[in-house]
């Protein structure tokens, strides 16, 4: 059955099952993996909702490999997702923004590798602004009888077999793609279920929202500054929360562009190719949009290291094209 025939209100489990029926020879492991992610999302959602009450807001007291102050919820979310993926058994290796090295689950026969940003928008945890989780799933390349290796983890975004995000916002949503369109599910906490609410999401080709940290204006190159000037002159609406997932989700539904270009402080950009950019690039392309580092299609970049960063421009197709055009001209 085609997704379009599924009524709004279909549970995520049922949706995954129906998708699985379209591939009678598939083993169902990817379906199980997606269920594991949904389970971890429910647990993290509960922790996020209780954060102010059970003293898991605030700093954890250590830095991650990126040199960022870890928040307690960064660590909690990281542990919860790793545990769910380990227990699920489909994943051999996990890489995470919050871990220096690969995490081996011990499931040597697991077919998949997961890259994740367990908690995106850490700076917004304590102030009750939307935060998220971002994930990418790859098929392992190495032999099945041992741990996954670095080559399994350093695959280009074009190799993703599934990707998506969870937004813990005014409501909690799971949005994902397996390369056949993008669908969004809203969490109903009293029932403990995600329900199909946003079917076959398409990002508007054009939009009038731009999301960028304007405080970095004088740290951007002339091309980026010229594009931001263009947005201001055009009277576009500026919307930036500091949570990539939140800013991206808004732009996906309403039409818009998100930019985190290189700055003096972060000459390679701030966002991480494997944990943040590839997943959202896969989603946006599946919804009809585009993602670039200023020159290359994000999903075409061959990663060299786990924590690699990249400049990131993502959103409505025509807006990204205009941005790239203006940036090239001003160079
Ligand atoms: P994370 O919380 O996972 O480290 O990611 C933070 C990212 C992203 O969510 C956000 O868009 C960006 O950092 C904000 O950075 P600035 O505060 O420099 O604008
Ligand atoms: Mn972080
Ligand atoms: Mn992040
Ligand atoms: Mn994070």
Class of the CATH domain delimited by 209-329: alpha beta
Tell me the pLDDT of the chain averaged across its residues.
94
State residue 4's pLDDT score. 54
Would the CATH topology of 12-201 be identical to that of 209-329? no
State residue 173's pLDDT score. 98
Rounded distance from Cα 81 to ligand 2 centre (Å): 16
State residue 3's pLDDT score. 46
In this structure, the chain runs to a length of 331
Q: Does the beta carbon of 68 sit less than 6 angstroms from any atom of ligand 1?
A: yes
Q: Does the beta carbon of 242 sit less than 6 angstroms from any atom of ligand 1?
A: yes
pLDDT tens by residue, 203-250 = 999 999 999 999 999 999 999 999 999 999 999 999 999 999 999 999
The band of 1, judged by pLDDT with boundaries at 50, 70 and 90, is very low
Rounded distance from Cα 122 to ligand 1 centre (Å): 7
State residue 56's pLDDT score. 72
Q: Who contacts 281 (Cβ-Cβ below 8 Å, separation ≥6)?
A: 157, 291, 297, 298, 299, 314
Chain position carrying tokens 């998708």: 19
CATH of span 12-201 = 3.30.540.10
pLDDT tens by residue, 42-67 = 999 999 998 777 777 788 888 999 88
Rounded distance from Cα 197 to ligand 3 centre (Å): 25
**Number of C-beta neighbours around residue 35 at 10 A:** 18
Domain boundaries, the chain: 12-201, 209-329
Q: Which residues of 215-242 are buried (b: 16+ CB within 10 A; e: fewer)?
A: ebeebbbebbbbbbeebeeeebeebbbb
């Amino acid at each position: 059955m085609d997704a379009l025939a599924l009524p709004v209100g279909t549970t995520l489990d049922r949706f995954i099952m129906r998708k699985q029926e379209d591939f009678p020879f598939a083993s169902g492991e990817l379906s199980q993996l997606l269920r594991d992610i949904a389970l971890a999302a429910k647990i993290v959602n509960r922790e996020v909702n209780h954060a102010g009450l059970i003293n898991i807001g605030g700093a954890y007291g250590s830095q991650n490999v990126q040199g960022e102050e870890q928040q307690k919820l960064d660590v909690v979310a990281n542990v919860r997702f790793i545990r769910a993926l380990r227990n699920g058994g489909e994943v051999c290796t996990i890489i995470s923004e919050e871990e220096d090295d690969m995490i081996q689950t011990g499931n040597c026969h697991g077919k998949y590798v997961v890259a994740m940003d367990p908690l995106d928008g850490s700076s917004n945890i304590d102030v009750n602004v939307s935060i998220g989780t971002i994930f990418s799933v790859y098929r392992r390349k190495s032999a099945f009888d041992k741990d996954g290796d670095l080559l399994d983890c350093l695959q280009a975004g074009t190799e993703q077999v599934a990707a998506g995000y969870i937004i813990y916002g005014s409501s909690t949503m799971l949005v994902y793609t397996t390369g056949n369109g993008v669908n969004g599910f809203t969490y109903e906490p009293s029932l403990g279920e995600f329900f199909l609410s946003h079917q076959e999401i398409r990002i508007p080709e054009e939009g009038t929202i731009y999301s960028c940290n304007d405080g970095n204006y004088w740290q951007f190159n002339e091309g980026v500054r010229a594009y931001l000037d263009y947005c201001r002159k055009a009277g576009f609406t500026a919307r930036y929360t500091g949570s990539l997932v939140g800013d991206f989700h808004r732009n996906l539904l309403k039409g818009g562009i998100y930019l985190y270009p290189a700055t003096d402080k972060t000459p390679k950009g701030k966002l991480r190719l494997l944990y943040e950019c590839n997943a959202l690039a896969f989603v946006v392309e599946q919804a009809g949009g585009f993602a670039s580092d200023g020159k290359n299609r994000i999903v075409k970049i061959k990663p060299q290291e786990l924590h690699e960063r990249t400049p990131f421009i993502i959103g409505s197709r025509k807006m990204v094209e205009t941005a790239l055009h203006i940036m090239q001209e001003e160079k």
